[in-house]
């Protein structure tokens, strides 16, 4: 389905795809996204950020660009020290030019057909951000029972601590107006898994409360695993976000500037 937009609505779309040890999945993901993007009424680009993978992720990302005719619409960046998903998203955002920024995972759990649905909701509501949600009544979820239970417990914790108007913060598909990210990134601390939560907490604290949840199709493919150490780290980071927000009031002020403060790890654009 084509997305209809008025002349006043943003025309340029940037998809930022962080990738770490996804191997051939990243190739399949990019090909699916390109096929879907070709049906949409947007100018678009895909920015793949290889987060120092130890397998063939970078090679497969490059192969996806070649497969699509070496188009300039697909840009591949890589660096040699793993920094975490949040860092990769930040780095990809700095390389982007779109008025709407979509963060999407590089695995195959979330089919590309979710993208036009999210963009349609975002445009219709003129929202600041659209968040894919497993809790949306129209979502179709194929998810292990244990993961469902863990997700629900975490969602209740988030509601208790932050009272966000979003029920599910962790789905790897989100769309933002560019200005939201311009304002939020200078306040973000976490560069790993709890990045999604911190971004939404910061956005809400800055007054960006026009967030809508969108239905998703999620087919769990058992390629992304959550280990006990990762669960512990997420909980620690979540409490740290609460501490920074409620006690330190850390998010009231920006702590660095996107243009002046360069990242420590410099990426290299991959030319082919």
Residue extents of the structural domains in the chain = 12-256
Give the number of other CB atoms < 10 A from CB of residue 24: 14
> Global pTM?
0.91
Query: What tens digit of pLDDT does each residue of 213-249 get?
Result: 999 999 987 555 567 788 898 999 999 999 999 999 9
User: To the nearest whole percent, how much of the chain has pLDDT over 70?
Assistant: 89
Kind of pairing between the strands at 12-19 and 43-50:
parallel
12-256 folds as Spore Coat Polysaccharide Biosynthesis Protein SpsA; Chain A (3.90.550)
Give the per-residue pLDDT at 6: 42
Give the per-residue pLDDT at 261: 47
**What confidence tier does 5 reach under pLDDT thresholds 50, 70, 90?**
very low
Identify which of 68, 67, 64 has the alpha carbon closest to the alpha carbon of residue 56.
64
Query: What tens digit of pLDDT does each residue of 171-201 get?
Result: 999 999 999 999 999 999 988 879 999 999 9
Q: Long-range contacts for 183-188 (Cβ within 8 Å, ≥24 apart)? A: 183/208, 183/254, 184/208, 185/90, 185/93, 185/258, 186/254, 186/255, 186/256, 186/257, 186/258, 187/250, 187/251, 187/253, 187/254, 187/255, 188/86, 188/90
């Amino acid at each position: 389905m084509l997305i209809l937009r008025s002349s006043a609505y943003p025309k340029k779309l940037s998809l930022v795809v962080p990738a770490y040890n996804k191997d051939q999945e990243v190739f399949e993901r990019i090909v699916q996204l390109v096929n879907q993007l070709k049906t949409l009424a947007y100018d678009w680009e895909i920015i793949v950020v290889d987060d120092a993978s130890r397998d063939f992720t970078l090679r497969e990302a490059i192969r996806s660009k070649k497969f699509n005719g070496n188009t300039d619409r697909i840009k591949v960046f890589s660096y040699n020290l793993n920094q975490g998903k949040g860092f990769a998203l930040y780095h990809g955002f700095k390389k982007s030019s779109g008025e709407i920024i979509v963060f999407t995972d590089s695995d195959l759990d979330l089919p590309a057909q979710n993208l036009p649905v999210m963009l349609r909701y975002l445009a219709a509501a003129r929202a600041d951000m659209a968040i894919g949600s497993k809790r949306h009544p129209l979502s179709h979820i194929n998810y292990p029972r244990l993961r469902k239970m863990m997700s629900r417990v975490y969602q209740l914790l988030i509601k208790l601590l932050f009272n966000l108007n979003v029920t599910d913060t962790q789905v790897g598909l989100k769309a933002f107006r560019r200005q939201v990210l311009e304002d939020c990134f200078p306040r973000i601390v976490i560069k790993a898994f709890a990045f999604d939560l911190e971004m939404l907490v910061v956005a809400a604290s800055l007054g960006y409360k026009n967030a809508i949840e969108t239905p998703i199709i999620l087919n769990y493919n058992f390629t992304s695993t959550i280990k006990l150490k990762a669960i512990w780290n997420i909980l620690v980071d979540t409490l740290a976000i609460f501490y920074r927000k409620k006690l330190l009031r850390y998010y009231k002020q920006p702590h660095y500037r996107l243009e002046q403060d360069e990242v420590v790890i410099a990426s290299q654009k991959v030319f082919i």
